[in-house]
Amino acid sequence: MRAFQITAPNKFGLTEVPEPPLAAGECRVRVRLAGICRTDLELAKGYMDFTGIPGHEFVGTVASGPERLLGRRVVGEINAACGQCDDCRRGLERHCAQRTVLGIYKRPGAFAETLTLPAENLLAVPDEVSDEDAVFTEPLAAALEILEQVPVPPGEHALVIGDGKLGLLIAQVLALHGCRVTLLGRHERKLALAKRWGVLTRVAGANDAADLGKVPLVVEATGSPAGFRTALSAVRTRGTIVLKSTYAPSELPALDAAKVVVDEITLVGSRCGRFAPALRLLALGKVDVRALIDQRVPFAEAERGFDLAARKGALKVLLQFGL
pLDDT tens-digit readout, 157-193: 999 999 999 999 999 999 999 999 999 999 999 999 9
Domain total in the chain = 2
Q: Are residues 157 and 107 in the same domain?
A: no
Residues 100 and 15 in one domain: yes
Pick out the chain residues at pLDDT < 50.
Answer: none
CATH of residue 240's domain is: 3.40.50.720
CA 297 to chain centre: 20
Same domain (yes/no): 131, 6: yes
Q: What is the pLDDT of residues 10-56, one digit of tens each?
A: 999 999 999 999 999 999 999 999 999 999 999 999 989 999 999 99
In angstroms, rounded to a whole number, what is the distance separating the alpha carbons of residues 207 and 268?
25
The answer to whether residues 132 and 146 belong to one domain is: no
Other C-beta atoms lying within 10 Å of the C-beta of residue 251: 13
- One domain, residues 117 and 130: yes
| Domain membership of residue 150 as a residue range | 140-269
Could you tell me the CA-to-CA distances from 181 to 61, 63, 157, 192, 219 in Å, in that order? 37, 42, 6, 14, 10
* Same domain, residue pair 7 and 94: yes
Q: CB–CB of 278/304 below 8 Å? A: no
Q: Kindly state whether residues 52 and 90 are assigned to the same domain.
A: yes
Specify the pLDDT at position 209: 57
pLDDT of residue 207: 64
CATH number, position 114: 3.90.180.10
- Specify if 278 maps to a domain: no
What single DSSP character describes residue 14? E
Residues 45, 9 within the same domain: yes
- Report pLDDT for 323: 64
Q: Is residue 277 part of a domain?
A: no
Residues 101 and 173 in one domain: no
Q: pTM of this prediction?
A: 0.94
Note whether 162 and 105 are same-domain residues.
no
